[in-house]
Amino acid sequence: MTVRGALVAAATMLAVATGAQVASAAEVDFAPCASCHGENGVSYNVDTPSLAGQPSFYAITQLFLFRAGRRTNPLMTEMARPMSDADLRAYSELIGRLPPAPPAPGVPADPARMKRGAALAEQHRCTTCHGADLAGAKQVPRLAGQREEYLARALAEFRSGARIGYTPAMNETLTGLGAPELGDLAHYIAHASTLTGVAPAASAASR
């Protein structure tokens, strides 16, 4: 099994495991997380993602990657290192229950960038994995309503290979895209949300 395969298998086992020793979401304290990720997981902090609306399966894979040192971020690595498997499960269950909220106010939508971003999203089929409404599912993250500068950085890190993830899906999807394209994609995604009234799949549906 490849390292990546082993990671997915381990995270999946964590996600589905049940037993008396499993901490319930009620037993973990979200307050330390909220100090960075915002109350109810809606982030007002630059460079810090909102967690609200993320599928719990996605959350546990990422906590697992942070703990294993496969996704590197000094702040999150520090948070995840002491966590037990039960903690990972409890936090991801809790995250899965945080209702998605309208995005924190950021850069206003620029019509030219929105148009370019929508065309790129369609061309590179972002909605085939992230969903027509970009809400994600299972181990695929929600993008709708995420902070723009965080999205831009995540895309740049997948593109450069600095973020490898548990699947090469994103590294492959972004092959050949330059910094201006990644910026336009992040701008479009940050604003394209059913919660802001800009339906992400509108352009695809009107073809």
Give contact residues for ligand HEC (rule: CB under 6 A): 32-33, 35-37, 47-49, 51, 54, 59, 62-63, 71, 73, 75-76, 79, 91, 121, 124-126, 128-130, 139-141, 143, 146, 151, 154-155, 165-167, 169-170, 173, 185, 189
Cα–Cα distance, 79 to 66 (Å, whole number):
9
Cβ-based nearer residue to ligand HEC, 17 or 32: 32
Residue 164: CB atoms within 10 A of its CB come to: 18
Residue 20 Cβ, how far from ligand HEC at the closest point, in Å?
Answer: 23
- Of 79 and 110, nearer to ligand HEC (C-beta) is 79
The minimum distance between CB 169 and ligand HEC, in angstroms, equals: 4
- Rounded Cα–Cα distance for residues 176 and 179 (Å): 10
Least separation, in Å, of the C-beta of 17 and ligand HEC? 18
CB of 71 vs ligand HEC, minimal distance in Å: 6
Provide, rounded to whole angstroms, the least separation between the CB of residue 62 and ligand HEC.
4
Which residue's CB is nearer to ligand HEC, number 110 or number 171? 171
Provide the Cα torsion 17, 50, 78, 27; round to 10°: -50
Phi, psi of 152, rounded to the nearest 5 degrees = -60, -40
Closest residue by beta carbon to ligand HEC:
165
Considering beta carbons, is residue 31 or 112 the nearer one to ligand HEC? 31
Cα distance between residue 122 and residue 140, in whole Å: 18
Nearer Cβ to ligand HEC, position 62 or 193?
A: 62
- How far apart are the C-alpha atoms of 31 and 24, rounded to whole Å? 16
In angstroms, the CA 22 to CA 55 distance is 19
Q: What CA–CA distance (Å, rounded) separates 154 from 162?
A: 9
